[in-house]
Amino acid sequence: MVHYSGQLSRLIESGQVRKSYPLRRNLLISFSSAHFAVDAGCSLCACLLLTRWGVSSAEFYKLVMIYNLVAFGSQPLFGWLLDVAKCQREGMIMGVLLTAAGCAAAGGSLVPAALLLGVGNALFHVGAGAGIYAISSGKATPSGVFIAPGAVGLFAGGVLGATSWISPYYAAIVLCLIAWGLIHIPVADLQMPTEQHHTAPRRRTSYFSIVLLLLLLVVASRSFIGFSMPVPWQEMEGAPLMLVVMAFAGKSLGGYLADRLGWTTWCGTLLLLTSVLAVFYQQSFAAACVALLCVQATTGVTLVATQSLFPGFCRRYREPTQNRYLGQS
């Protein structure tokens, strides 16, 4: 039996960590692929509301608002529940299955489908995020790699939904197969953090709150800028694809470069550069692309940094027993 003792980096000298490296790599690839599929399924259903099911604009925005409120607003609650129940991986798998159920129901019951998609998306992100943090050894690189496919999934689902030639039932089948695959990924020898070695001292409560607030403001500002600033180049041919490429590149490479250059220096420089480029955001598509690349390059750091403020809660992602499988512990 392997006993888990806090940071994975403490065990780098042991053969156990080297032995588990291929597994950690496979988990990262699997979780990232699942992230792509979950976001693609949600985006597909949203676009089909207009192209196949012909809902009105008012109804469309109502359903999207319901989905957004559930998918994003419920993540703190679901994260807390999964941490308390110590079932983050089960929550991740349940999230994939609920997303599949939402895709299957989307053609008939629109509001229940929006709720299923929202809950499924929220459960997947908090559950998978806990798993990525557990195998990241305190680095931002795995988080960046995990986050990046979500942007591509949103774009791919939107394109498929706009063409209206693919049924959401196919997305549901793919998601069920992904859930089956996640259940059967072997996780023997994988080191996980424990609550015992991650306790935030009470005397740092004020500092903790300030850092958490700043991290959340960075996340909120990214979304606010993207939704609130109309631009003349929005309808330009190829603009959506280029923006997705910039977002993917920023997310996937940002964590790696932050680990090499230092989180504070990297994120501080990028946010300062973004604030300057925001002045030219509306007039210059090139400036918008660079600004998007810069701001998305902070996502891996903000995810790991936020989770690091709650280190005692990312624990027991699985039962630490040899020759067990996800879903069988």
Q: For residue range 294-306, list pLDDT tens digits in order.
A: 888 988 888 888 8
Report the C-alpha gap between 292 and 225 in whole angstroms.
10
Q: Three-class SS of residue 17?
A: helix
Q: What is the mean pLDDT of the chain?
A: 78
What pLDDT shows up at residue 225?
Answer: 58
Nearest to 304 by CA among 69, 65, 137, 121: 137
Residue boundaries of the structural domains of the chain: 1-197+314-329, 201-309
Report the C-alpha gap between 35 and 149 in whole angstroms.
6
What pLDDT shows up at residue 189?
Answer: 42
What pLDDT shows up at residue 239?
Answer: 81
Residue 100 or 194, more confident: 100
What pLDDT shows up at residue 134?
Answer: 83
Confidence grade of residue 202 (pLDDT, cut at 50, 70, 90): very low
Q: Where are the alpha helices (DSSP H) in the chain?
A: 15-51, 57-73, 75-85, 88-105, 110-134, 141-163, 168-183, 205-228, 239-261, 263-277, 285-296, 299-308
Judged on CB neighbours under 10 Å (0-12, 13-18, 19+), 149 is buried
What pLDDT shows up at residue 212?
Answer: 66
What pLDDT shows up at residue 83?
Answer: 87
Evaluate if residue 283 carries a pLDDT over 60: yes
Residue 285 or 66, more confident: 66
Q: Please compute the mean of the pLDDT values over residues 181-196 and round it to a whole number.
A: 60
- Are 88 and 126 in contact by the 8 Å Cβ rule? The answer is yes
Which residues, other chains included, contact 56 with Cβ-Cβ below 8 Å and sequence gap of 6+? none
Taking only the tens place, the pLDDT of each residue in 84-141 is 888 888 999 999 999 999 999 997 889 999 999 999 999 999 999 988 988 888 889 9
Q: What angle do CA 254, 71, 275 make, to 5 degrees?
A: 40
- Are 88 and 130 in contact by the 8 Å Cβ rule? The answer is yes
Q: Please compute the mean of the pLDDT values over residues 30-44 and round it to a whole number.
A: 96
CATH, range 1-197+314-329: 1.20.1250
Q: Please compute the mean of the pLDDT values over residues 187-194 and round it to a whole number.
A: 47
